[in-house]
Structure 1
Amino acid sequence: MRGRTYEKRDGFPARCLGVYDDYGRLIMMINFNNDLGDGWEHAADGFYPREASDMAFKLGINAVVYALTH
């Protein structure tokens, strides 16, 4: 296969998992079957799906805000 492959709609579902400490606080977020960095890196690329990039930014911003406020 040649060229860029950004999104495969027939792949496995993406999951977001968490690791918690003894007090129930989230200490680590795990992104499984997705690549948030691609969404950020290729946001200005006209060939990258806009909805995937938007969701990557939303999840990243939510994670940062959560980390700063909890």
Structure 2
Amino acid sequence: MAKQQLLKKNRGNDEVPDPTQGSQDVPGVDDLQVCIAHRAYELYEQEGCCHGHDLDHWLKAEQDVLSSNL
């Protein structure tokens, strides 16, 4: 109980940001992520659905999508 009171005391009136609101501040972020995810899945399929390369596929897809939007 004392620990909770201490945490409340140290916290003050700072508002904690809502993590679900982050992408709504920037229009199109969700659309961009969906496009990247689709492209990454295409790359995954093109390479024979081989697991373990998800980061490589995501980064390549991100590069492809962002370069096509310029």
Larger radius of gyration: 2
Fold similarity call, TM over 0.5: no
Higher relative contact order (CA 8 A, sep 6+): 2
Larger strand percent: 1
